[in-house]
Amino acid sequence: MAIREIKPGVYYVGATDWDRRLFDELIPLPDGTSYNAYIIKGRDKTALIDTVDPTKEEILIENIRELGIKKLDYIISNHAEQDHSGTIPRILTLFPEVTLVTNKKCKGFLIDFFSIPEEKFMVIEDRERLSLGNKSLEFILAPWVHWPETMLTYLVEDRILFSCDLFGSHLANSSLLAKEDAKLLSSAKRYYAEIMMPFRNSIKGHLRKLEDIDIKLIVPSHGPIYQKPQFIIDAYKDWISDNVKNEVVLPYVSMHGSTEKMVAYLIDALIKRGIDVLPFNLTKTDIGELAIGLVDTATVIIGTPTVLTGPHPAVVGATYLANALRPKMRFASIIGSYGWGGRTTNIIAEMLSNLKVEIIEPVIIKGYPKNEDFKALDNLAETVLRKHRENNIV
Ligand code: FEO
């Protein structure tokens, strides 16, 4: 991405990755991503805020050259994950005089990853400031968004918050400044769901801390810059709140049609009772869409056939992911069929051990569903409705 001056002396020098479709070999990126890095030219000193993924290091180097930076005083490392730190070794080679500014924990990671010598570091504490002359940087430690060493950097005079992965979106975009619209909200929610959701409680604390800070721009490490900070702060407040929707997320797999028939019947039974349903056929769905669905649903019902003695492996993967993402859902259940036996219910229930959910009586049937099985599905839908109403989930 071309260099942009977002404020006098503050330049975007990062890189857009239009074609990347998978992150961490796990997370789908339907809209690519960007690795945002910034140069801040103060009267006396110049700082680089984060670097870029090593696959794009030439773009960062070229941008720094094009800006005519002859002397770089500081690299601020907000986060040690390699998509932001991976080009630090190259910058250290090009600017041997530079000091690497970060917190103690991040320093440890950077030494582990890149064998950077101790003497290159300046270790800062929470709320410590660093002067660049007419501009000053304040560091705000924000552990667990989404690693233990993460921090934010606030450019005091321009009221810009460099928020690291927090508030990010995997959205390659030619416009650096966000249009705060439905598309961006959807990308940011996907990002929250896939990366930030397990750290909901940590984020609550960080947002409280940010209330005392006057923020004009939020500049995340991925995706566009928020010109209306409240747009993304309010969205996060909603996602991290304890509020859930009158909704059922229904990830499922069917091998010979029995589970699919049950899923179709249950969807109608829930809709008839005024409950929204988000079904995900796990053989076809983008797992990120499932993660988004988990952000604020009240209930998850997992549909699976029995493979050997347990759930279908695709269901095992989705259940593992749901457990790891720790959504705030309140209830869970299981539906599915078997031919000659198995431990499907126990295996899935054990896999949800991170979640504080009440398990509603599963409906596991033998063979193809019959009248009594449809009645059991009606009972399940009725129980979900009752549980939602009892908990004021409307
Ligand atoms: Fe964008 Fe956690 O790195």
pLDDT score, position 178 = 78
Ligand 1: which residue has its CA nearest to atom 2?
Answer: 81
Q: What is the pLDDT of residue 261?
A: 98
Q: Which residues, given as ranges, of the chain have pLDDT below 70? A: 1
Q: Do 331 and 362 touch, CB atoms closer than 8 A?
A: no
CA dihedral (118, 106, 116, 100) in degrees, to 10, reads -80
- The pLDDT, as a whole number, for residue 181 is 86
pLDDT of 39-86, one tens digit each?
Answer: 999 999 999 999 999 999 999 999 999 999 999 999 999 999 999 999
CA of 16 to the centre of ligand 1 (A): 14
Ligand 1 atom nearest to CA at 146: 2
CA-CA distance, 129 to 139, in Å (whole number)?
Answer: 6
Q: Which residues are CB-neighbours of 375 under 8 A, at least 6 positions away?
A: none
CB 375 within 8 A of CB 346: no
- Provide the pLDDT for residue 180: 81
What values do phi and psi take at 261, rounded to 5?
-65, -40
Say how many Å lie between the CA of residue 322 and the centre of ligand 1. Answer: 20
How far does residue 257's CA lie from ligand 1's centre (Å)?
40
Q: Residue 355 and residue 332: Cα distance in Å, rounded?
A: 10
Residue identifier of the C-alpha nearest atom 3 of ligand 1: 81
Helix (H, G, I), strand (E, B) or coil at 193: helix
Q: Where in the chain is the domain with CATH 3.60.15.10?
A: 4-240
Q: Where are the alpha helices (DSSP H) in the chain?
A: 57-66, 82-85, 88-94, 104-114, 182-191, 200-210, 229-240, 258-272, 287-294, 313-325, 344-351, 371-390
Residues within a 6 A CB radius of ligand 1: 79, 81, 83-84, 146, 165, 221-222
Q: What is the CATH number of domain 4-240?
A: 3.60.15.10
pLDDT at position 94, please? 97
Residue 221 CA: which ligand 1 atom is closest?
1
Q: How far apart are CA 338 and CA 310, in angstroms?
A: 9
Residue 2: its pLDDT value, please? 84
Query: Ligand 1 centre and the CA of 152: distance in Å?
Result: 13
Task: Tell me if the domain spanning 245-387 has CATH number 3.40.50.360.
Answer: yes
Nearest-angstrom CA–CA distance, 64 and 50: 13
3-state class (DSSP) for residue 86:
coil
**CATH 3.40.50.360 boundaries in the chain:** 245-387
Of the candidates 82, 81, 128, the one whose C-alpha atom is nearest the C-alpha of residue 101 is 128
Cα–Cα–Cα angle for 147, 153, 155, nearest 5°?
165
Give residue-wise pLDDT tens across range 35-47: 999 999 999 999 9
Q: Rounded to the nearest whole angstrom, what is the distance from the C-alpha of residue 301 to the centroid of ligand 1?
A: 31
Cα 333 to middle of ligand 1, angstroms: 33
Residue the block writes with tokens 């952000």: 295
Query: Per residue in 323-369, pLDDT tens?
Result: 999 999 999 999 999 998 889 999 999 999 999 899 999 999 999 99
Q: How far is the CA of 358 from the centre of ligand 1 (A)?
A: 33
Residue type, position 178, single letter: A
Give the per-residue pLDDT at 1. 57
